[in-house]
Amino acid sequence: MRLPSPLLSLLINFLLGASWAFALIGASALFFSFLGIGIIYAIFGSFLGSLPGLFMVLLIEYFLMREEKLRELRKHTKLLEELVAQKNNY
């Protein structure tokens, strides 16, 4: 995804990577801590451990989607304004 600012792009990509890492670490930590109790509890614990990181991934992806939609709307508005100006000239 291309963002208008390289610094913003770097920050968003870093936060996205950190969120995925947080989800993976949370899932593996709870999986291995609950493995002594039972495999079902370990799988359920790994799911619960990954939820905060996955929530952050969804939040960042939502931000990126809204940013892209806003840019597209701005382009469409500019094109429509040009078309209206062109029509008024005739």
Is residue 5 helix, strand or coil?
A: coil
Looking at residue 8, its pLDDT comes to 82
78 inside domain: no
pLDDT, tens digit, for every residue of 21-70? 999 999 999 999 998 899 999 999 999 999 999 999 999 999 889 988 99
40 inside domain: yes
Looking at residue 90, its pLDDT comes to 75
Which tokens sit at 90? Answer: 């005739």
Domain that holds residue 46: 6-63
The conformation of residue 35, written as its DSSP 8-state character, comes to T
Which pLDDT band holds residue 2 (cuts at 50, 70, 90)?
Answer: low
Looking at residue 1, its pLDDT comes to 57
Which pLDDT band holds residue 4 (cuts at 50, 70, 90)?
Answer: confident
Q: How many independent structural domains does the chain possess? A: 1
